[in-house]
């Protein structure tokens, strides 16, 4: 009996142990109301199926409960969730502390109800969805620490009461939305003194940055770039001494950068680019010894570079382009900036020579000093910069191009070399100069434009097997286009316009490998990114007014031979260059007919044939070039009807004028009854027999140039952002027309200031 009793007790005890283990697990189980709320949330999603089928909702994917079976976390980032978010069902999850639904496809708005009841919420991440609407009046609770609503479609002002209860808020990110009104810079005054990160960038906030940030004693990151802010830099920001990053680019802020900035000793990133900041740089800037990234491009800063800057030994990028800075930079000692990888001082008034001390910044990958008043020669010491990949020295007064090229060809990592407009009137480094040439092994972009260089296109260029872009326009180059140009395996952008090139269009150029086939995606040919941004305006896309790009493949495949003395036919082989996007043959001495084969160039967006001696009809197949946005065949000897269809009729009459025998829309003269047929016959005969029409005598006019000039200037004046586009593209790569740009900029500056 006793043994049995013991047995029983032991069993009971075991059972007790067993249940004490099991029962709490049951208690852990999800509450029915929570389960309902979750299912109601899931029911509003159209996809994908969440597999929330088991009984215990606490075990569902993405769900965490507390001991009492309340749902505390709902974490479903990047799950491809689609559908309208249902704040009312989420509002019933009253114990929620973490909600992360980022990187989905949710839409709908945040209703006040949700925020009212979620007063335990600590982390709210709804970033990267399609949520919209205005923000509720107030954040839910004093527990909230992180709010990330970035990359949605929210709009309206941030209500002044929004942060009232959020006393523990540390991270607030609303970048990439459409918020308007004032930036709530008083956030730390009453409500959220613990804020560390504030990101308001890429919205439409406007007005001044009000005082208040100075009270954010813990603020580390402040971003408000890409908005519509005006006024001065708020004076009290210099009290927020924990700041590590200030990024305000693309606004209209003005005023000087106060020397009080030295108070922000933790500052590592300072981006004030694309504003109207003026005055001199703070003389004690160099006391900010942690500075790594300094970006002041496109402001009105003036005066010398403060020598103390050379004490910022942690500097990684120094970008001060497009200001009014001046002074002899060869007097500065850059040698202690051992971390410096990028220096960009383009478009300023710096004088002196290329600072020798720069050659000891061994980390340098990119140097851009274009559009200054620098002089002297490049020294062989530059070869100690083993990582140098991007060198742009254009539009200065450097001399001895041959010597420069002889040195630089040994620069093994060089990808982009832009010397346009720096070596005015010198000779193109010839083959004799470059004996035993075995250099520029990695060169992808070479610009030697706008320099009045004389001589021929030298043979050593044929060894640049990685060359993708070659700009030699606005020189005095004579001789023919060498046929080997068509063998360079990666070349896709050639600009030889405005030279004195003679001879015929070499057939071999019609076999440029990069323009024949779709690029092989696995090959690396398309991958190059410039180390510094290039600002351009894409001519054929008026809607995209300007952009900055670091990707070489963003440039359209182009052959520009305009304004030379090239004679003979346009080869029929041209039809092989299927990937060509822009073809400029205007203002040459081309004769013969427009080959039908041009209609094989299905990617063609711009075709310029004006001011030649072309005859015969315009092939009707041209009307099938769907991407053609720009076309000009004016001032030739073309005849017959302009092929009908939507394409060619969409251009102005000016694209056809100066061809007296051409008829039909958009020209005002109507075609006679038989003209078309005659012309067609004639053209076919030409094509098959290869007969040449006699060159039609025409008067060379500067019309094209003048029209182009005012076209550009006009747009520059009208649209501020285009200034950057032209300004930069020119300095970076092109050179283009000095006069044009200088005049444009000056006119525009006057207009802006006046
Ligand atoms: C749901 O479960 C099914 C079958 O178990 C599975 O094929 C599917 O991938 C699951 N869906 C998700 C979103 O996990
Ligand atoms: C939320 O709870 C209330 C009652 O507490 C209920 O009436 C309502 O239907 C619930 N909403 C959802 C979406 O579950
Ligand atoms: C939300 O989830 C994503 C993906 O796991 C994560 O990167 C992000 O940091 C989370 N958000 C917060 C605020 O923790
Ligand atoms: C703020 O957070 C701290 C710790 O994280 C906590 O002790 C305090 O209660 C919170 N304050 C409020 C008002 O919730
Ligand atoms: C930008 O702000 C100015 C006033 O500062 C205002 O006139 C203009 O409409 C704003 N632009 C946008 C797009 O909100
Ligand atoms: C610098 O910051 C300290 C607080 O750290 C403050 O007392 C001082 O007034 C600030 N100086 C300036 C010039 O803002
Ligand atoms: C650079 O820092 C040193 C001390 O670290 C100081 O003596 C020197 O004056 C500073 N140079 C400039 C130009 O501020
Ligand atoms: C350079 O200085 C001259 C006057 O000395 C001024 O006209 C010009 O605008 C300045 N250029 C730049 C880019 O600041
Ligand atoms: C270019 O530099 C080299 C080496 O310094 C020199 O020998 C040569 O004379 C220079 N050429 C010109 C035209 O100055
Ligand atoms: C693409 O390029 C890779 C590497 O360069 C090469 O192995 C592959 O054969 C090429 N594919 C085609 C279709 O040309
Ligand atoms: C070629 O260069 C001329 C200037 O010489 C320019 O007007 C034209 O737009 C360019 N054409 C193409 C196809 O790039
Ligand atoms: C080619 O060079 C000319 C002259 O610099 C320039 O006007 C034209 O825009 C360039 N072509 C392209 C497509 O960039």
> 416-469: per-residue pLDDT in tens?
999 999 999 999 998 887 777 788 989 999 999 999 999 999 999 999 999 999
Give the pLDDT of residue 682: 47
Please report which confidence band the pLDDT of residue 142 belongs to, taking 50, 70 and 90 as the band edges: confident
**Average pLDDT for 550-564:** 88
**Average pLDDT for 574-594:** 95
Query: Of residues 48 and 217, which shows the higher confidence score?
Result: 217
Q: Is 311 in the pocket of ligand 7 (CB under 6 A)?
A: yes
Residue from 97, 122, 142, 144 whose mutation best tests the ligand 4 pocket (most atoms within 8 A of CB): 142
pLDDT (tens digit, 9 = 90+) per residue, 50-93? 888 888 889 899 999 998 889 999 999 999 999 888 777 788 88
DSSP string covering 400-417: -HHHHHHHHTT-TT--EE
- Atom of ligand 5 lying closest to residue 206 CA: 2
Give the pLDDT of residue 32: 86
| Coil, strand or helix at 728 | helix
Q: Is 313 in the pocket of ligand 7 (CB under 6 A)?
A: no
Give the pLDDT of residue 85: 82
Between 429-438, 641-650, 729-738, the lowest mean confidence (pLDDT) is in 729-738
Which residue lies with its CA nearest to atom 1 of ligand 1?
A: 51
Residue from 155, 177, 206, 209 whose mutation best tests the ligand 5 pocket (most atoms within 8 A of CB): 206
Query: Of residues 319 and 436, which shows the higher confidence score?
Result: 319
Give the pLDDT of residue 68: 87
Give the pLDDT of residue 536: 64
**Average pLDDT for 704-708:** 26
Distance CA 534, CA 543 (A): 19
CA 186 to chain centre: 33
- Atom of ligand 4 lying closest to residue 167 CA: 13
Q: Reply yes or no on whether the pLDDT at 277 is more than 90.
A: yes
Give the pLDDT of residue 126: 95
Distance CA 41, CA 89 (A): 6
Which residue lies with its CA nearest to atom 13 of ligand 7?
A: 308
Long-range contacts of 32-40 (CB under 8 A, 24+ apart): 33/92, 34/65, 34/69, 34/70, 34/71, 34/92, 34/93, 36/92, 37/71, 37/89, 37/90, 37/92, 37/93, 38/63, 38/71, 38/74, 38/89, 38/93, 40/86, 40/89, 40/92
Give the pLDDT of residue 524: 56
- Atom of ligand 3 lying closest to residue 123 CA: 13
Q: Is 306 in the pocket of ligand 7 (CB under 6 A)?
A: no
Give the pLDDT of residue 517: 74
Q: Is 475 in the pocket of ligand 12 (CB under 6 A)?
A: no
User: For residue 750, what is the enclosing H or E element?
Assistant: helix 738-753
User: What is the CA(210)–ligand 2 centre distance, in A?
Assistant: 42
Mean pLDDT of the residues in the chain: 83
User: What is the CA(79)–ligand 2 centre distance, in A?
Assistant: 25
Give the pLDDT of residue 493: 95
- Percent helix / strand / coil, the chain, rounded to 5: 30, 20, 50
User: What is the CA(125)–ligand 3 centre distance, in A?
Assistant: 7
- Atom of ligand 5 lying closest to residue 230 CA: 5
Please report which confidence band the pLDDT of residue 697 belongs to, taking 50, 70 and 90 as the band edges: very low
| Residue 75, Cβ density class (10 Å: 0-12 exposed, 13-18 middle, ≥19 buried) | middle
Give the pLDDT of residue 526: 59
Distance CA 464, CA 732 (A): 20
Give the pLDDT of residue 685: 41
Q: Pocket around ligand 3: residues whose beta carbon is below 6 Å from it?
A: 77-78, 100, 102, 123, 125, 146, 148
- Atom of ligand 2 lying closest to residue 86 CA: 13
User: What is the CA(735)–ligand 12 centre distance, in A?
Assistant: 9
User: What is the CA(720)–ligand 8 centre distance, in A?
Assistant: 19
Whether 391 and 369 have beta carbons less than 8 Å apart is answered as no
pLDDT (tens digit, 9 = 90+) per residue, 484-519? 999 999 899 999 999 999 999 999 999 999 898 766
- Atom of ligand 7 lying closest to residue 310 CA: 13
pLDDT (tens digit, 9 = 90+) per residue, 96-130? 999 999 999 999 888 777 777 778 999 999 999 99
Give the pLDDT of residue 520: 58
- Atom of ligand 8 lying closest to residue 347 CA: 13
CA 528 to chain centre: 14
Q: Domain 478-698 class?
A: alpha beta
User: What is the CA(512)–ligand 10 centre distance, in A?
Assistant: 18
Task: Tokens 């003269």: give the residue.
Answer: 669
- Atom of ligand 4 lying closest to residue 168 CA: 1
Give the pLDDT of residue 739: 29
Between 92-96, 367-371, 533-537, the lowest mean confidence (pLDDT) is in 533-537
Between 28-37, 64-73, 254-263, 474-483, the lowest mean confidence (pLDDT) is in 28-37
Give the pLDDT of residue 165: 86
Q: Is 308 in the pocket of ligand 7 (CB under 6 A)?
A: yes
Q: Reply yes or no on whether the pLDDT at 3 is more than 80.
A: no
Give the pLDDT of residue 521: 53
Which ligand sits closest to the CA of 181? Answer: 5
User: What is the CA(746)–ligand 8 centre distance, in A?
Assistant: 9
Between 259-273, 578-592, 733-747, the lowest mean confidence (pLDDT) is in 733-747
Between 148-157, 248-257, 647-656, 666-675, the lowest mean confidence (pLDDT) is in 666-675
In 463-557, DSSP assigns E strands to 469-471, 476-477, 493-495, 529-536, 547-551
- Atom of ligand 10 lying closest to residue 520 CA: 1
Tokens at residue 647, please?
Answer: 């394409």
**Average pLDDT for 581-585:** 96
Q: Reply yes or no on whether the pLDDT at 699 is more than 60.
A: no
pLDDT (tens digit, 9 = 90+) per residue, 653-694? 999 999 999 998 889 988 876 544 444 444 434 443 333 322
Whether 461 and 436 have beta carbons less than 8 Å apart is answered as no
Residue from 118, 143, 170, 193 whose mutation best tests the ligand 4 pocket (most atoms within 8 A of CB): 143
Give the pLDDT of residue 111: 76
Which residue lies with its CA nearest to atom 4 of ligand 10?
A: 523
Whether 117 and 139 have beta carbons less than 8 Å apart is answered as no
Torsion of Cα atoms, 669 then 675 then 680 then 685, to 10°: -120
Query: Of residues 704 and 176, which shows the higher confidence score?
Result: 176
**Average pLDDT for 698-721:** 29
Q: Reply yes or no on whether the pLDDT at 742 is more than 80.
A: no
User: What is the CA(198)–ligand 4 centre distance, in A?
Assistant: 20
Give the pLDDT of residue 674: 58
Query: Of residues 596 and 694, which shows the higher confidence score?
Result: 596
Which range in 38-47, 527-536, 595-604 is most confidently predicted, on average pLDDT? 595-604
Q: Pocket around ligand 11: residues whose beta carbon is below 6 Å from it?
A: 497-498, 558, 560, 562-563, 582, 584, 606, 608, 708
User: What is the CA(342)–ligand 10 centre distance, in A?
Assistant: 34
| Among 336, 340, 296, residue whose Cα is nearest residue 315 | 340
pLDDT (tens digit, 9 = 90+) per residue, 9-42? 545 444 443 443 333 344 457 888 888 889 888 8
Tokens at residue 721, please?
Answer: 């952002």
| Among 170, 122, 218, 734, residue whose Cα is nearest residue 475 | 734
Q: What is the pTM of this model?
A: 0.82
Give the pLDDT of residue 4: 55
Distance CA 634, CA 612 (A): 9
């Amino acid at each position: 009996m006793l043994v049995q009793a013991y047995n029983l007790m032991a069993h009971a005890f075991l059972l007790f142990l067993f249940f004490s283990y099991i029962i709490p697990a049951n208690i852990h189980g999800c509450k029915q109301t929570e389960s309902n709320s979750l299912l109601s949330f899931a029911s509003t999603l159209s996809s994908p199926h969440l597999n929330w089928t088991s009984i215990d909702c606490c075990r569902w994917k993405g769900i965490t409960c507390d001991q009492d079976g309340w749902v505390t976390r709902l974490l479903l980032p990047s799950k491809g969730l689609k559908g309208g978010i249902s704040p009312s069902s989420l509002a019933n999850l009253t114990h929620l502390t973490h909600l992360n639904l980022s990187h989905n496809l949710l839409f709908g708005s945040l209703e006040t109800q949700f925020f009212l009841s979620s007063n335990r919420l600590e982390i709210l991440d709804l970033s990267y969805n399609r949520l919209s609407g205005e923000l509720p009046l107030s954040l839910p609770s004093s527990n909230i620490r992180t709010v990330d609503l970035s990359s949605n479609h929210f709009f309206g002002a941030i209500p002044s009461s929004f942060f009232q209860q959020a006393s523990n808020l540390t991270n607030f990110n609303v970048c990439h939305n459409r918020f308007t009104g004032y930036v709530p810079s008083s956030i730390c005054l009453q409500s959220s003194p613990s804020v560390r990160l504030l990101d308001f960038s890429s919205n439409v906030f406007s007005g001044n940055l009000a005082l208040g940030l100075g009270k954010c004693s813990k603020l580390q990151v402040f971003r408000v770039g890409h908005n519509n802010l005006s006024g001065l830099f708020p004076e009290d920001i210099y009290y927020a001494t924990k700041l590590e990053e200030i990024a305000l680019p693309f606004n209209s802020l003005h005023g000087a950068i106060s020397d009080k900035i030295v108070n922000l000793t933790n500052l590592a990133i300072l981006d004030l680019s694309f504003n109207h900041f003026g005055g001199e740089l703070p003389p004690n800037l160099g006391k900010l010894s942690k500075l790594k990234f300094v970006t002041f491009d496109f402001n009105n800063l003036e005066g010398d570079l403060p020598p103390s800057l050379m004490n910022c030994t942690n500097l990684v990028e120094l970008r001060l382009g497009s200001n009014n800075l001046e002074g002899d930079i060869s007097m500065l000692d850059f040698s202690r900036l051992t971390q410096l990888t990028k220096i960009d001082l383009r478009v300023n008034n710096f004088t002196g020579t290329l600072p020798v001390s720069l050659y000891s910044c061994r980390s340098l990958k990119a140097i851009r000093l274009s559009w200054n008043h620098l002089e002297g020669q490049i020294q062989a010491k530059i070869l100690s910069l083993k990582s140098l990949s991007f060198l742009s020295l254009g539009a200065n007064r450097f001399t001895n191009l041959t010597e420069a090229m002889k040195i630089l060809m040994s620069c093994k990592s060089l990808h982009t070399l832009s010397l346009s407009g720096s070596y005015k009137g010198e000779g193109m480094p010839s083959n004799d100069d470059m004996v035993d040439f075995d250099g520029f092994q990695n060169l992808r972009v070479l610009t030697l434009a706008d320099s009045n260089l004389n001589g021929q296109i030298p043979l050593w260029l044929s060894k640049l097997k990685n060359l993708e872009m070659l700009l030699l326009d606005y020189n005095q180059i004579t001789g023919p286009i060498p046929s080997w140009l068509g063998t360079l395996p990666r070349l896709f952008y050639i600009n030889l316009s405005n030279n004195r090139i003679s001879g015929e269009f070499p057939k071999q150029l019609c076999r440029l490998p990069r323009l024949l086939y779709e690029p092989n995606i696995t090959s690396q040919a398309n991958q190059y990114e410039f180390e510094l941004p290039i600002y351009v305006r894409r001519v054929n896309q008026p809607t995209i007014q300007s952009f900055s790009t670091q990707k070489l493949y963003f440039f359209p495949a182009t052959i520009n031979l305009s304004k030379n003395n090239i004679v003979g036919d346009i080869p029929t082989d041209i039809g092989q260059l299927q990937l060509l996007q822009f073809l400029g043959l205007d203002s040459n001495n081309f004769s013969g007919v427009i080959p039908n084969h041009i209609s094989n160039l299905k990617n063609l967006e711009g075709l310029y044939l004006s001011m030649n001696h072309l005859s015969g009809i315009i092939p009707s197949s041209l009307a099938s070039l769907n991407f053609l946005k720009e076309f000009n065949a004016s001032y030739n000897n073309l005849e017959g009807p302009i092929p009908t269809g939507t394409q060619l009729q969409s251009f102005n009459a000016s694209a056809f004028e100066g061809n007296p025998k051409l008829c039909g829309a958009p020209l005002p003269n109507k075609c006679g009854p038989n003209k078309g047929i005659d012309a067609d016959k004639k053209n076919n005969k030409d094509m098959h027999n290869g007969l040449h029409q006699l060159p039609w005598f025409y008067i060379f006019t500067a019309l094209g140039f003048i029209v182009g000039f005012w076209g550009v200037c006009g747009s520059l004046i009208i649209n501020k952002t285009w200034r950057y586009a032209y300004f930069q593209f020119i300095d970076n790569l092109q050179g283009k027309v000095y006069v044009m740009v200088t005049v444009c900029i000056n006119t525009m500056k006057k207009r802006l200031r006046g």
